[in-house]
Structure 1
């Protein structure tokens, strides 16, 4: 890995968990190689791992005080948001339960408690809830009753009519602080582990206040985290850090069950690649990858390492068509089978915003042409600029 400033190496060391002597030794060694502490600040914010980095900086005397203070301030802000999200998640969950809406939460506070034992250790952009597709109308009514407003207008469309282009609907609370995503499936591509979801085994995560959060059972959770991270080439370090942390605090039986479940779902290459990437970054032998990796697993691990060490927004589907050919090929080769690839090709030609209730009827038919023209124009502009 090329890390000229030492910033990425330090952030990786900070993301090792649990906070034991091995982590502290790795932090001390990585701190000695840092030549630009500003890069640590900016990269930690980009990878959304500031609470872990701020925790690591407490014992590093070489860090400039202004950088340590700024990191601590951002970590406090992230922690306060995480606690506010936890409160809202409990409130929404209680309302859903009262109305007979079955639900589980994914990532967020539940994962933070499982992996780190503290909801403030893992910042989240939003709250993710998974519901049955048929429960959308009731869930939308419950969100409105709680004071939430739709951010994408899906509450004005026929429930389920946009499921072929969207996997979730977005909602914002009256204070404009908390965002909620109501998912009807876990992945936008319907061919990606389609049986993983509401019908999967569950476990209850204790919050320490007498309340619990329902989420995926540990094996299914590990498989989901592996597929979720690899699906975007792990372009944020927080995802592989969460996967590794949850693996370390899982039992040997749970880790073995996760690998068996991944094989049942056709995602064993992806799960193995996540284990390999975690071992490469964190050097932890607690959850090692198989002795022999498949070609697909090696390719996925290499793609993740490539994007982590050279982060760029173009790994995101929402970042428009101005992406490299390598990213397109990565998406098409992510899973085996023509069902997945056909669905991925279809989604590449779809602009989800064209299917919003406010969009004119003709926009969805011209979206592929417009996207292609925009891509060609940008490439031509880049060529002329050179």
Structure 2
């Protein structure tokens, strides 16, 4: 943790303290001593392992316990973690093989596609597939290629979550940003993206410039497309903010990326984020990486953080909920208010609210199928549907809209 957090470190549960110490690929002597000291404490090992799985940090927990204090950890617990680690590693290899097959299938049709999250991040940030948990495959394509990609995935045995016709496709592409496909009784999940976040979240990524900045990378001996380091950093911060930073691994990934790439063009990164109205989102992610994992940030970033008190306020809320063994699900109003405060531009806050209320989604189409002649009613009916739905269950995620 950063020096800003030292005064509250003693307030953390021993399980969370140990998990935070292990959640990194590079362990210095001070951190190694901290790991050994934490491992000697009276720990609820069931809760620790359960929490590590929930936060996507089980592989790093096992790796560092096995490396730095295998003589301290109860043998049965170390074996339990080893079994989980090996199962995760085996599944990661299978999923990566499936990803590469899908990318090759797309390439034969002349479709450029970029692996997004999953195995690509495991390699680029952690250096090994086995060090990251992932259960689905995320692939980013251009809007113009979505229909062909959907047909190719269907030919491979996948079923789309939303059955979209060609007539509905233009509206679907405009209103949404992802289509989920499943196979083998949901054992294999592919998320086909043409955007980064839902329309109401207000992250208007310039896709043409984004695709121009892609670079070549290597995944299990195969060439793949990958975002620039600066773009990847912003994407990770947007993903975390969109989902309210509910997993420690998302912050860990940012800290690892910053440590691994000392040549980040910080001027370009902040300028790009500012143009997209996402500078506060970027700075929040970076501050959390510094606060929880000690990521070193340049003076430029630290000054920008200090100039915006809202960032530390938001980080405090994230930390308070995240560093509990039993984090509470945030209610709808809390989620909306958090999202609004992550945006620095008043216009984005206003458009977030209006789009959230009135932008139709495929879920609206499914719940209330209307003939084309009555489709103009959807924006009027949507607020009523949401009011009824969330009055019954206020903890629903915004992704369910």
State the TM-score, normalized to the length of structure 1.
0.85
Shift of 1:167: 1.3
Go from structure 1 to structure 2 and tell me whether the alpha carbon gap of 1:227 and 1:284 turns closer, same or farther (over 3 Å shift): same
User: Contact 2:229 / 2:264 at 8 angstroms: preserved in 1?
Assistant: no
User: Contact 2:237 / 2:281 at 8 angstroms: preserved in 1?
Assistant: yes
Superposed CA offset, 1:299-342 (max 9, x none): 33223213312464635xxxxxxx15333211222212324432
CA distance in 1: counterparts of 2:31 and 2:167, whole angstroms: 50
Asked if 1:43 corresponds to 2:51, the answer is yes
**Residue equivalent to 2:106:** 96
Matches within 5 A, 1:219-234: 219-234=230-245
Residues paired across the two proteins, number: 371
Unpaired runs of at least 5, structure 1: 316-322, 380-386
**Residue equivalent to 1:309:** 323
Superposed CA offset, 1:144-200 (max 9, x none): 222222233236763232235431111123474321101111111366331344531
User: Contact 2:175 / 2:198 at 8 angstroms: preserved in 1?
Assistant: yes
Unpaired runs of at least 5, structure 2: 1-7, 395-401
Q: Secondary structure at the match of 1:162?
A: helix
Shift of 1:52: 0.7
Q: Secondary structure at the match of 2:224?
A: strand
**Residue equivalent to 1:203:** 215
Which structure carries more helix by proportion?
A: 2
Go from structure 1 to structure 2 and tell me whether the alpha carbon gap of 1:196 and 1:121 turns closer, same or farther (over 3 Å shift): farther
Q: Secondary structure at the match of 1:77?
A: helix
- Aligned CA RMSD, in angstroms, stands at 2.9
CA distance in 2: counterparts of 1:70 and 1:358, whole angstroms: 44
Matches within 5 A, 1:284-363: 284-285=295-296, 289-291=301-303, 292-310=306-324, 312=327, 314-315=329-330, 323=331, 325-335=333-343, 336-347=345-356, 352=361, 354-356=363-365, 360-361=369-370
CA distance in 2: counterparts of 1:300 and 1:196, whole angstroms: 27
State the TM-score, normalized to the length of structure 2.
0.82
Matches within 5 A, 1:160-171: 160-171=170-181
Q: Secondary structure at the match of 1:368?
A: helix
User: Contact 2:126 / 2:256 at 8 angstroms: preserved in 1?
Assistant: yes
**Residue equivalent to 2:34:** 26
Go from structure 1 to structure 2 and tell me whether the alpha carbon gap of 1:228 and 1:198 turns closer, same or farther (over 3 Å shift): farther
CA distance in 1: counterparts of 2:17 and 2:358, whole angstroms: 38
User: Contact 1:13 / 1:26 at 8 angstroms: preserved in 2?
Assistant: yes
